Amino acid sequence: MAKGYWVSVYPAISDPEELAAYDELAGAAVQAGGGRLLSLLPANGGRIVAHEAGTTHRVVLIEFDSFEQAVAAYESEAYQKALVALPDGFERDFRIIEGID
């Protein structure tokens, strides 16, 4: 069974501190849904090398045991509550993708 991934890129965050409430709720929802945080750049001090049209903005990568689990976690009540906590005035490119076996 192919794994599932949440990939989020935040090209514009006016105030990173405003994401704190979302981060707390989303982290708990992801964990409850069986997700594992693989990367949170650049917040975790990791390195980014951007090529072509790439940027060095916040990137979040979360792994789930299956694509279906990733979708279910996004649709969960806990994660939907986290989405309400997202601050106004930010941009995010969010995708759920299926991995390759």
Q: Give, as one character, the DSSP assignment of residue 18.
A: G
pLDDT in tens, 21-56: 888 999 999 999 999 999 877 665 677 788 887 777
Handedness of CA 52, 98, 74, 48 (dihedral sign): negative
> What is the helix (H) or strand (E) element at residue 39, kind and residue range?
strand 36-41
For residue 84, with 0-12 CB atoms within 10 Å meaning exposed, 13-18 middle and 19 or more buried, which class applies?
exposed
- Taken in order of first residue, the domains within the chain and their CATH numbers are 4-47+55-98 (3.30.70.100)
Give the separation between CA 101 and CA 85, rounded to whole angstroms. 34
Residue 94 scores a pLDDT above 80: yes
